[in-house]
């Protein structure tokens, strides 16, 4: 029995789609995933490597999709059709136009869920960081307006940074943009 709620396709073994000849000879369900999240297609075969020698999907994928995609697989010797059908029903990949009926009561489909994100905010003090930003800016030949455009902030915010007079903490992302724009390392790290 396969419990879909504990199978994360991105944690399964995989090979780049363009290296599909490296697939081993086993049976199971396979997932074609572009990047880190886009499940494009789900299929099954008693010999996945043989299936991918001449797969019809290769003609449908753009060159970018082929470059960015990997084949992930769940090797199993269980009945493949109900497992494939359950995964297709669960993920609804765009290149699977047909959603086969689910035949087996042994495939457990997880309940629908709502994801909740928890953001942990960590705030540290960095003494004289504003002075270091100002010193780096004064060494730069570009006008402040150009540096601000490169960082995506206003001149007034920049002056608040330099004078260390912000209403709320600067974000780490903002500090990284300043470092990049000025070509410096402000030595801001969160080593907890």
d(CA 124, CA 111) in angstroms, rounded, equals 41
Q: Are 47 and 27 in contact (CB under 8 A)?
A: yes
| Domain limit, last residue, from 91, 116, 137 | 91
Domain that holds residue 154: 129-182
The better pLDDT of the pair 113, 163 is held by 163
- Percent of the chain past pLDDT 70, that is, above it, reads 88
In a domain, residue 101? The reply is: no
Same domain as 76, residue 16: yes
In a domain, residue 99? The reply is: no
**Residue 19 pLDDT grade (very low, low, confident, very high; cuts 50, 70, 90):** confident
Predicted TM-score (pTM) of this structure: 0.51
pLDDT digits (tens, 9 = 90+) for 107-152: 555 556 666 777 777 888 899 999 999 999 999 999 999 999 998 8
Same domain as 136, residue 85: no
Q: What are phi and psi of 99, to 5 degrees?
A: -105, 100
In a domain, residue 187? The reply is: no
Query: Which of 38-47, 66-75, 90-99, 156-165 has the least mean pLDDT?
Result: 90-99
d(CA 159, CA 107) in angstroms, rounded, equals 61
The better pLDDT of the pair 19, 183 is held by 183
Residue 69, beta-bridge partner list = 34
| Domain limit, last residue, from 91, 115, 144 | 91
| pLDDT average, residue stretch 50-74 | 83
Same domain as 143, residue 85: no
**Residue 105 pLDDT grade (very low, low, confident, very high; cuts 50, 70, 90):** very low
| pLDDT average, residue stretch 139-167 | 91
Same domain as 135, residue 81: no
Q: Are 28 and 76 in contact (CB under 8 A)?
A: yes
Same domain as 150, residue 72: no
In a domain, residue 160? The reply is: yes
In a domain, residue 191? The reply is: no
In a domain, residue 188? The reply is: no
The better pLDDT of the pair 17, 111 is held by 17
Q: What is the CATH number of the domain that holds 172?
A: 1.10.260
- Percent of the chain past pLDDT 90, that is, above it, reads 29
pLDDT given at position 122:
81
Q: What is the CATH number of the domain that holds 86?
A: 3.40.1440
In a domain, residue 111? The reply is: no
Tell me how many domains the chain contains. 2
d(CA 171, CA 136) in angstroms, rounded, equals 19
| pLDDT average, residue stretch 55-82 | 84
| Domain limit, last residue, from 91, 121, 154 | 91
In a domain, residue 113? The reply is: no
Same domain as 151, residue 83: no
Q: Are 59 and 41 in contact (CB under 8 A)?
A: no
d(CA 131, CA 58) in angstroms, rounded, equals 57
pLDDT given at position 100:
64
pLDDT given at position 182:
94
pLDDT given at position 109:
53
């Amino acid at each position: 029995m396969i419990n879909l709620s504990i199978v994360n396709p991105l944690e399964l073994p995989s090979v780049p789609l363009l290296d599909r000849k490296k697939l081993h000879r086993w049976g199971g369900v396979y997932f074609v995933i572009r990047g880190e999240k886009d499940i494009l297609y789900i299929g099954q075969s008693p010999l996945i490597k043989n299936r991918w020698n001449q797969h019809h999907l290769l003609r449908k994928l753009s060159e970018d999709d082929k470059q960015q995609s990997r084949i992930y697989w769940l090797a199993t010797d269980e009945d493949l059709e109900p497992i494939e059908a359950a995964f297709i029903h669960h993920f609804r990949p765009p290149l699977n136009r047909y959603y086969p009926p689910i035949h087996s009561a042994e495939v457990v489909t997880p309940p629908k869920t709502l994801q909740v994100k928890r953001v942990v905010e960590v705030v540290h003090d960095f003494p004289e960081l504003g002075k270091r930003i100002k010193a780096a800016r004064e060494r730069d030949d570009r006008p402040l307006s150009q540096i601000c455009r490169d960082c995506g902030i206003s001149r007034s915010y920049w002056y608040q940074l330099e004078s260390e007079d912000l209403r709320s903490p600067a974000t780490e992302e903002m500090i990284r943009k300043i470092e990049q724009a000025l070509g410096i390392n402000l030595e801001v790290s969160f080593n907890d």
